[in-house]
Structure 1
Amino acid sequence: MKNGLEDVIAAETQLSDVDGEAGRLIIRGVSLDQLVANSSYEGVAALLLDGLMERSVGEAQLRAWLAKARIRVFDHVRAADASLLALPPVDAMRALIARLPDGEDFDTVLNLLAAPAVFLPAVLRLQRSQKPIAPDASLPQAADILRMLTGKSPTREQSAALDAYLVTISDHGLNASTFASRVIASTQAGLTSSVLAALSALKGPLHGGAPGPVLDMLDAIGTAENAYTWLGEALDRGERLMGFGHRIYRVRDPRADALKGALKPLMASGQVNRARGELAEAVEAAALAILKARKPNRPLDVNVEFYTALLLEALGFPRKAFTGVFAIGRTVGWLAHAREQALDGRLIRPRSVYTGPLPAAA
């Protein structure tokens, strides 16, 4: 038995491969760097869902149908009452998703892809006592998310940055939330149930809740000159450095480089605070140096959380919403794995080893 099922093979999949030793992520036969450079969120969604639904669609068709789905699910925003809005954004978003029918057809998939993209901006605006903004069917998903969040048309660089983020986090092997999705799918409960289970796993701080604390760390460090000292003192206290290290990757997380690249146009155009960007680069350099010196036998490098935090902050998302934005991008991976499990898998039923007391002999 391996606690946490580490290295245990639990499924065969054609969707993604995470090579932690080489620092490589492949999605449906395409490397992450190629996907980010050449595809949109809708393109990756079409790639992941290809052959898993009763209908196969290309990128352009999926963009049109997904836009209609955003308009369709917007009606559910009316259910966001005061008690729901008192919840953290990811919990409020989950409650609204739970209103969707629990089917297995392509319309269910479209609704579930659209729902977090619509519900999260609406919840954030309602929590600020602002009116929700209805979707615009003429826009691709990334641009419409930003418009629904801010009420303004996003710049080309902003739309491209969010699109790159959604592509980057679309799928990542059999992580906790994806495994939860497959477990539920194996019972034939329905795709909405699979997404809700995955979202519930994602909100745990050991899975999808870490990007926000990266910004807390940067705030506490304050200046580039203070980075090395602050980080060293944090390690002396036994604290983890947010944004560094990964359970799978033994080298640099390839998603970190993809998101760092997505930030560059925002920085070049002045849409990211220059001092913030310079501080982040100084913290990255200092953290890598001190980790190498203190833990030479334990490879710890930048992970996806570090540049996720900077990118989402630059796009105007509050820290409390970061897990919800992650869910917007990862839902397509959850759905693809759920469909793959439903089509090709069996009911997931592992065994346990009993370590409790035995009954007394008669």
Structure 2
Amino acid sequence: MKKRISALPDEVIALSELCIKNGKIDPSLYTKYDVKRGLRDLQGKGVLTGLTEISDICSTKIVDGQEVPCPGELYYRGYDIKKLVNGFLEDDRFGFEETAYLLLFGDLPTEEQLRNFNKILGNYRTLPVNFVTDIILKAPSPDMMNTLARSVLTLYSYDERANDISIPNVLRQCLELIALFPVISVYGYQAYSHYHEGKSLFIHQPEMDFSTAENILHLLRPDGKYTKLEARILDLALVLQAEHGGGNNSTFTTHVVSSSGTDTYSVVAASLGSLKGPKHGGANIKVVQMLDNIKSHLKDWTDEDEIRAYLRKLLAGEAFDHSGLIYGMGHAVYSLSDPRADVFKAFVKKLSEEKGFHQEYGLYEKIERIAPEVISEKRKIYKGVSANVDFYSGFVYHMLGLPQELYTPIFAIARIAGWSAHRIEELINAGKIIRPSYKPIGPHREYTPMAERT
């Protein structure tokens, strides 16, 4: 495949400078007009734009009439995420499919309901005839999120009822996408690794009676094998990332695009585009890359003074990618703790012991403790700072031997369950098209004829 020339012509560079010159807005105007940039105030509280019954995020509580930070809590359909996780772990079963059922239908399934739901997903795991050869194996992309989005948009052409936005049909489409996301993601990676990295190409068929986590590992590995702990922890990662309120960027995108009345495939492709961004679903890759950089510069991974000094360099923009960020620390909503990271941590330690990554785990643990102190030294904090789920998820995927190209798609494999629930909720409640306001600040000008322009 011959790619288009990527070098930027001088003419384009010059025009881009014109864009920058005439596109810059005085930052003080955002304060003057009380603009909630990012739809959040200075304390990080989001502007209320909708209602949902799908999930609830709690990061503050009222004490003596004042709102104060508290340890983070996450509820799916009213159920505490920690109790949900404990429930399926104690019963020694996988939890993602049960979680998807809960998010979509509002109640925990009975054994029979879950068995039937798993059967439906199993039956939907088959791609259309020749889809793999005609779509996925042709023009493979180095970014699996683009492969996933392209495949989703192409599935529109295979659906005779693609534009039908009745709830039964949208539910059918959503169930198909929940079932197919692991298949498309892994097949897309196999094509990329073969055509771009020269590795052997192998395409396993998904197993109808496997869980989503089991199928990811089965499809990805040449021998299709995995340990019970590996599958359990990957399943846990999917559960923890399946949903996170209507205000996160990709789910809000789901609501915004759904409100226009468009088809399911267009909505999901837009949400995938949002999730791809490094400020959203791509954050765990940045954490792993940052930790690799930290490990290469520290002489002693146990020396807390050396760790602290390097974290200060990161924060000052003097190390790694010079962004001034310590990736995996802080969250738009949580302050004292992210409950997803809390749940994950114990299992991360167990996996690190099985895989021989106990030294790396020790470094992660120290950074988790020291980084908030370093951040509070240098920056005004309106709320607490703690490790978020991305801080550990990338490390887990690394220990599982998953390629970085699949880190964000795995997030999408989980979050499609939440997106589906929110799309259906938006359609059921049939509100107005979502259209926030932007204040124009440029002056009105008189038209200048061509001959008079300079």
The two structures share one fold, judged by TM-score above 0.5: yes
- Report which of the two has the higher share of helix: 1
Greater relative contact order, per chain length (Cα 8 Å cut-off, separation 6+)? 1
For the residue of structure 2 that corresponds to 1:99, the secondary structure is helix
Relative to structure 1, the CA distance from residue 284 to residue 73 in structure 2 (aligned partners, 3 Å threshold; closer, same or farther) is farther
Alpha-carbon separation, structure 2, partners of 1:292 and 1:312:
29
Alpha-carbon separation, structure 1, partners of 2:51 and 2:380:
34
Aligned-pair identity in percent equals 29
Alpha-carbon separation, structure 1, partners of 2:106 and 2:367:
44
Alpha-carbon separation, structure 1, partners of 2:293 and 2:285:
13
Relative to structure 1, the CA distance from residue 300 to residue 110 in structure 2 (aligned partners, 3 Å threshold; closer, same or farther) is same
* CA deviation vs aligned residue, 1:181-201 (integer Å, no higher than 9, x gap): 111111221222211111111
1:153 paired to 2:202? no
Relative to structure 1, the CA distance from residue 341 to residue 356 in structure 2 (aligned partners, 3 Å threshold; closer, same or farther) is same
Relative to structure 1, the CA distance from residue 81 to residue 333 in structure 2 (aligned partners, 3 Å threshold; closer, same or farther) is closer
Report the CA distance between 1:243 and its aligned residue.
Answer: 0.8
Relative to structure 1, the CA distance from residue 300 to residue 189 in structure 2 (aligned partners, 3 Å threshold; closer, same or farther) is same
Relative to structure 1, the CA distance from residue 185 to residue 203 in structure 2 (aligned partners, 3 Å threshold; closer, same or farther) is same
Relative to structure 1, the CA distance from residue 143 to residue 232 in structure 2 (aligned partners, 3 Å threshold; closer, same or farther) is same
Aligned AA for 1:28?
Answer: R
Aligned AA for 2:258?
Answer: A
Alpha-carbon separation, structure 1, partners of 2:380 and 2:350:
34
Moved over 6 A (4+): none
The structure 1 residue matched to 2:273, chosen from 164, 176, 200, is: 200
**Unaligned runs of at least 5 residues, structure 1:** none
Cα contact 1:41–1:141 (8 A) shared by 2: yes
**Unaligned runs of at least 5 residues, structure 2:** 1-34, 41-45, 61-69, 89-94, 157-161, 195-200, 296-300, 318-322, 448-454
Alpha-carbon separation, structure 1, partners of 2:131 and 2:211:
21
Residues 1-362 of structure 1 correspond to what in structure 2 (within 5 A)? 1-6=35-40, 7-21=46-60, 22=70, 23-39=72-88, 40-50=95-105, 58-72=113-127, 76-80=131-135, 84-101=139-156, 102=162, 103-104=164-165, 105=169, 106-129=171-194, 130-151=201-222, 152-173=224-245, 174-222=247-295, 223-225=301-303, 226-237=306-317, 239-268=324-353, 270-295=354-379, 297-298=381-382, 299-346=384-431, 347-360=433-446
Aligned AA for 2:347?
Answer: A
Cα contact 1:45–1:332 (8 A) shared by 2: yes
The worse-fitting range, judged by mean Cα deviation, of 279-288 and 25-34 is 279-288
Report the CA distance between 1:231 and its aligned residue.
Answer: 0.8
Report the CA distance between 1:87 and its aligned residue.
Answer: 3.4
Instruction: Give the TM-score of the pair, scaled to structure 1.
Output: 0.91
Structure with larger Rg: 2
Alpha-carbon separation, structure 1, partners of 2:268 and 2:85:
24
Report the CA distance between 1:59 and its aligned residue.
Answer: 2.1
Matching residue of 2:26: none
Relative to structure 1, the CA distance from residue 357 to residue 331 in structure 2 (aligned partners, 3 Å threshold; closer, same or farther) is same
Cα contact 2:243–2:415 (8 A) shared by 1: yes
Report the CA distance between 1:360 and its aligned residue.
Answer: 4.7
Relative to structure 1, the CA distance from residue 284 to residue 36 in structure 2 (aligned partners, 3 Å threshold; closer, same or farther) is same
Aligned AA for 2:117?
Answer: L
Report the CA distance between 1:262 and its aligned residue.
Answer: 2.9
Alpha-carbon separation, structure 2, partners of 1:338 and 1:75:
29
Report the CA distance between 1:327 and its aligned residue.
Answer: 0.4
Relative to structure 1, the CA distance from residue 153 to residue 75 in structure 2 (aligned partners, 3 Å threshold; closer, same or farther) is farther
Alpha-carbon separation, structure 2, partners of 1:326 and 1:274:
25
For the residue of structure 2 that corresponds to 1:70, the secondary structure is coil
Relative to structure 1, the CA distance from residue 308 to residue 315 in structure 2 (aligned partners, 3 Å threshold; closer, same or farther) is same
Report the CA distance between 1:246 and its aligned residue.
Answer: 1.0
Alpha-carbon separation, structure 2, partners of 1:43 and 1:211:
25
Count of aligned pairs between the two proteins: 356
Cα contact 2:217–2:226 (8 A) shared by 1: yes
Relative to structure 1, the CA distance from residue 33 to residue 81 in structure 2 (aligned partners, 3 Å threshold; closer, same or farther) is closer
| CA RMSD, Structure 1 to Structure 2 (Å) | 2.2
Report the CA distance between 1:285 and its aligned residue.
Answer: 2.7
* CA deviation vs aligned residue, 1:69-127 (integer Å, no higher than 9, x gap): 11245853223456631331111121112122335423211211022211111111222
Relative to structure 1, the CA distance from residue 73 to residue 280 in structure 2 (aligned partners, 3 Å threshold; closer, same or farther) is farther
Alpha-carbon separation, structure 1, partners of 2:386 and 2:132:
40
Cα contact 1:79–1:96 (8 A) shared by 2: no
